[in-house]
Structure 1
Amino acid sequence: MARITTPVTVITGFLGSGKTTLLNRILSEMHGERLAVIENEFGAVGVDAEFLVSSGNETIIQLANGCLCCSVRGDLARSLQTLSESAVSGGFVFDRVLIETTGIADPGPIIQTFLAETAILTQFHLDGVVTLVDCVHAFAQIDQAENKAQVAYADRLLLTKCDLAASGQSEAVSERLAAMNPRAELLPVDLHQTPIADLLRLLFDARGYTFDYVPAQELKQVQARRSFLAGRGTKTAPKHTEDVVSCVFESSEPLDLERLNRFFDAAQLRYGARLWRYKGIVWAQHQRPRLVVQGVQSLLQITGGSMWRAYEPKRTVLVFIGLALEPDWIENELRRCEAADAVANK
């Protein structure tokens, strides 16, 4: 039986998008959820709190609404371990962890913590990345490198302050965000009026990193949202060298796993840190289960997923997001990974 691990959600967002407002509500309102919130400092925490643990790098306090807040100034993995040890010792029991990234421009290193083979994976798993975007000022901020990264890494994009935006602004911002990251769920939200229970539901169960239960057919929804596919692959071209590019590869032929690994090596060498996020499901030759691909920059994880169902079409769907990616190169190189004899275990 698989070990049950605690889901972790990373909350990031543009300057002024409402992260502090959201965090204040989570930490102050009564919602009945047992949450541990990790942040850089306690600026949003009220005075009604009880200190549980204090060390050189971490301070843990319990709030009046039952939440736990951990201020992290050191290594994230160590802070998660401190939380876990506190729970084991009877200090606090929590069901979920929220990581708020104020002061951290690029969420990539946080995500990599959960893809690397470390001890924390026996206790925690990354559920998803939620990015807040200020609808009013989005176009003034969206071309900043750190904001592009936050959009690209997101599994959910929450569009805030829509009620303050000019007519048509929300639609224009939504279209731009969907072009940058077509696989992310995009939702408008009122951080002040939405009930706290509904806000928390927007943060939970994104399943951006635990998706082997999703049939490959569902990933094709990306195509419906954006017309990135032409023929068998994507033909989108960046407007300039620093544009965020999203592309989708799909194949109904089995892929040769050795060639696929060589492709990922070549892509990492070609794009480096510009290859922000890549994920998907692979039908690999001579592999009975589907393979699940998760990648962030140079860190790649390929694991065995669930078995293909008898009625389910076997196929590969891979999504790539990054700066100045070349969809034609990705398409052509992945076509070379298709098994030459097109024979695989059925």
Structure 2
Amino acid sequence: MPVITTPVTVITGFLGAGKTTLVNRILREAHGERLAVIENEFGAVGVDAQFLVTDKDETVIQLANGCLCCTVRGDLARALDQLARQSDAGAFSFERVLIETTGIADPGPIIQTFLAETAILTRFHLDGVVTLVDAVHGMEQLERVENRAQIAYADRLLLTKCDLAEPAAQAALTERLGEMNPRAQLLPVDLQRSDLREVLALLQDARAYTFDYVAPEELLRLRTRVGLTQPARSQRLRPVAAGMHSDDVVSCVFESEAPLGLERLNVFFDALMQRFGTRLWRFKGVVYAEHQRQRLVVQGVQSLLQINGGSLWRAREPRRTVLVFIGQRLDRAWIIGALRMCEAGYVAEPP
């Protein structure tokens, strides 16, 4: 019988994108959900004074609407363990955890905590990363590497302040966000006037780190955004057709209908992480592997990689590999070429 773990959503976004507005509403208003909201030392500054915790230890406060507020001034794994222990002791109960990062925080280390800390996975699982983007100032904020990282790690991008943005500017920002992160859902949201239950629904059920599953709609979204709407042939593999921009964020999508050899694929991933190091922010997808009845699901954050068996390929189901890579100054041609060499039956072209 599978163990039921508590889903965790990371809420991030650059300064002024609306995280404090969202968290204050969650802590203040009645919405019928039992949530634990984890604030870090800097992220808690904007939260209403009645919710602030000022001592030096992690402390949990039970709020009138049934939610919990927990400030973290130390290790995230320890804070989650504290929540679990207090819940087991009957102090309170919660159904979901929201972690708010600071406006200048890189969410990468938080994601790595869930991939590397096996003790956490017995009680919690990372559902996804939701990044708020300011529709008015979002384009200029892309100059900050912290903001670009927040967008790269996102599984959902929520566009805020749309009512204040010029339509042309918002359209340009939307296009740019799609180029930077073709795998993330991009949704407008009104944090001030929308029903809070509708907003909370946008933070839930991303299933972005479910290690045996990648949503079909996510793969379809990838294929549509990069123009891969027809069955691909190996000789037609190509990177994302990104626009000409001065920043160094690169997204690259590889698709192939040829099965990939696992031994060569493992060599590729080792070389990938060694070549790009911390510049490789996020990589994810489904692999059609040689001699494997199951699809393989790839989840990677910087130097951490997990490959797990997913569902079985059905008898007449089209089998293909779809992988997306997002990071700084990635060499698209090298990634595409190296993966092509993993295809079964690959023969090097003559010079």
TM-score, normalised relative to structure 1: 0.91
Q: 1:167 to 1:305 in 2, by over 3 A?
A: closer
Q: Relative to 1, partners in 2 of residues 1:238 and 1:170: Cα closer, same or farther, differing over 3 Å?
A: closer
> What fraction of aligned residue pairs are identical, expressed as a percent?
65
Give the counterpart letter for 2:50 in structure 1.
Answer: V
- C-alpha displacement at 1:232, in angstroms? 2.0
Query: Which residue of structure 1 lines up, in the alignment, with residue 219 of structure 2?
Result: 219
Measured in 1, the distance between the counterparts of 2:117 and 2:345 equals 33
After the TM superposition, which of the residue ranges 245-254 and 17-26 deviates more from structure 2?
A: 245-254
Which residue in the other structure is 2:135 paired with?
Answer: 135
Number of positions where the alignment pairs a residue of Structure 1 with one of Structure 2: 339
Q: Which of structure 1's runs of 4+ aligned residues deviate more than 4 A?
A: 215-218, 237-242
1:201 shift after superposition:
0.4
When residues 237 and 179 of structure 1 are mapped into structure 2, their CA distance, relative to the original with a 3 A threshold, is closer
- Tell me the equivalent position of 2:258: 253
- Tell me, which stretches of 5 or more residues in structure 2 are unaligned? none
Aligned equivalent of 1:47 = 50
1:311 maps to 2:316: yes
What per-residue deviation string (whole Å, max 9, x for no partner) do you get for residues 195-238 of structure 1? 00001001111111126444668514213123489922225468
**Which deviates more, 189-198 or 160-169?**
160-169
Report the secondary structure of 1:174's partner residue.
helix
User: Do the aligned residues in 1 keep the contact of 2:9 with 2:99 (CA within 8 Å)?
Assistant: yes
Answering whether residue 332 of structure 2 is matched by residue 327 of structure 1, we say yes
RMSD: 2.4
Separation in structure 1 between the aligned mates of residue 207 and residue 28 of structure 2, nearest angstrom: 26
Q: Which of these residues, 268, 274, 277, is aligned with residue 272 of structure 1?
A: 277
Quickly say closer, same or farther: Cα 1:147–1:48, change in 2 above 3 A.
Answer: closer
* Cα separation, 2, equivalents of 1:87 and 1:55: 21
Unaligned 5+ segments in structure 1 are none
1:21 aligned residue: 21
TM-score, structure 2 as length reference: 0.90
The verdict on how the C-alpha distance between 1:177 and 1:48 changes in structure 2, with shifts beyond 3 A counting, is closer
* Residue-by-residue CA offset, 1:276-325 (whole Å, 9 max, x unaligned): 10001112222222111000111111111222223322221111111111
Alignment deviations for residues 91-138 of structure 1 (CA, whole Å, 9 cap, x no partner): 111111000002552100001111115210111111110001111111
User: Given that residues 244 and 322 in structure 1 are in contact (C-alpha distance below 8 angstroms), is that contact kept between their aligned partners in structure 2?
Assistant: yes
In the alignment, the residues of structure 1 paired with residue 276 and residue 187 of structure 2 have an alpha-carbon distance, to the nearest angstrom, of 30
Q: Is the 8 A contact 2:36 2:67 kept in 1?
A: yes
The 5 A counterparts of 1:90-105 are: 90-102=90-102, 105=105
What is the CA distance between 1:40 and its match in structure 2?
1.3
Task: Pick closer, same or farther for the CA change 1:340–1:228 going to 2, 3 Å.
Answer: closer
Pairs within 5 Å for 1:85-234: 85-102=85-102, 105-210=105-210, 212-214=212-214, 219-227=219-227, 231-234=236-239
2:13·2:103 contact (CA, 8 Å) conserved in 1?
no
Structure 1 contact 130–158 (Cα < 8 Å) conserved = yes
